[in-house]
Amino acid sequence: MAAQWDYLLKNLGDWQGSFARYAAEGEFLEETPTLVTLAGRNQNQSIYQLVRRFPRNQPTEDRVFEYSSLGRGVLFTETGAFSQGSLQFSPVASEFGAELGLIYQDRRLRLVQLYNQGQLTRLTLIRERRAETQAPERPALTVEQLLGDWQGEAITVYPDLQPSESYATRLRLDRQGDCLHQDLRFGEFQLASTARISGSRLLFEGGELPVQVLLLPDGASCNCPLVIKSNCSFVLEVGWLLSPTERQRLLRRYSAKGEWLSLTLIQESKVGSSPSGN
């Protein structure tokens, strides 16, 4: 638990950015400028958090939090990446969801995915940079940027704080017309699947659950089921293209019983390109 608190401290600072809301199928709804302050108190034994929103033509909104321990639904990795959210999915619950956050140098990328009775209802993309820095935002992600071979290293941490696990990953993405073919190797696990490309949406419709990948501003991607059902395992994921050859992904995994199992950070590099196809 001490290590988890140390990883949280990597997020200290003043973060300027915005909260951008999207409908479930990727329609942009609205964007609100924000300033989030995370400051250590009592020699970093507690955290003061201020979330300041600047809605257009409305008064500034402030929310203040102070805490000295982490909730059961929160986990960090050693980079400072984190996720917080629901511990258990239930099809009758009114709301279910999670936030996934990545951090790289003077920028953070966070994504909130929310469901109502198992149906994806809304998404919030949060793009931030440290105040008084000029860390640039990246262009919106495209299919072409993802094509090719990606090799990486994954580290998985667990809510019960059992020892973490690390393993190699490999991802190959090829395009043929309006189809994207994916070959994923994850330790001993291997999966081949195909998505239908529809604008900025990649629709994987051949599995137990229909899964959507949205290509978003700042090199971001949102990967999650459109619908969650009982007795089906699933993953909530955010991706971030840091450069043409470097990418991070953060995955929050749930069992077929709806239990939160683990959090995995993947840091991967492109090792080959792939023709776009026709």
Q: Divide the 278 residues of the chain into consecutive groups of 10 and give the mean pLDDT of each group.
A: 91 98 97 98 97 95 96 96 97 91 97 96 97 92 97 96 94 97 90 96 94 98 96 97 97 97 98 60
**Nearest in space to 186 (alpha carbons), one of 77, 243, 264:** 264
- What is the spatial distance between Cα 266 and Cα 153, in angstroms, rounded to a whole number? 6
- Tokens 């199928």 appear where? 25
Phi, psi of 143 (to 5 degrees): -60, -45
Q: Is residue 278 part of a domain?
A: no
CATH no. for residue 222? 2.40.128.20
CB within 8 A of 54, min separation 6: which ones?
A: 32, 33, 34, 35, 60
Phi then psi dihedrals of residue 165, to 5 deg: -125, 145
CB atoms within 10 A of CB 81: 29
Identity (one letter) of the amino acid at 255? S
In a domain, 37, yes or no: yes
Position 121 in a domain: yes
Res 276: pLDDT: 52
Q: Please name the residues in contact with 6: beta carbons below 8 A apart, sequence gap of 6 or more.
A: none
261 falls within a domain = yes
Q: Count up the domains in the chain and report the number.
A: 1
pLDDT for 188: 78
Cα separation, 34 vs 62, in Å, equals 10
Q: Is residue 141 situated within a structural domain?
A: yes
265: left (phi over 0), alpha (psi -120 to 50) or beta: beta
Q: How far apart are CA 156 and CA 142, in angstroms?
A: 27
Give CA–CA dist 135/88, Å, rounded: 37
Which pLDDT value is given to residue 94? 82
* φ, ψ (nearest 5 deg) of residue 2: -60, -40
pLDDT score at 273: 61
The tokens for 56 are 């257009």
* Amino acid code (one letter) for 170: R
Q: What is the pLDDT of residue 278?
A: 46
Strands (E), the chain: 13-23, 28-41, 46-53, 61-67, 74-76, 82-85, 96-104, 107-116, 119-130, 148-157, 165-176, 179-186, 189-198, 201-204, 211-216, 220-225, 234-243, 246-254, 260-272
Whether residue 242 lies inside any domain: the answer is: yes
**pLDDT at residue 189 in the model:** 84
- pLDDT computed for residue 244 by the predictor: 96
Q: For residue 215, what are the domain limits? A: 2-24+31-272
What per-residue confidence (pLDDT) applies to 92? 83
pLDDT at position 64 is 97
Strands 82-85, 189-198: pairing kind: unpaired
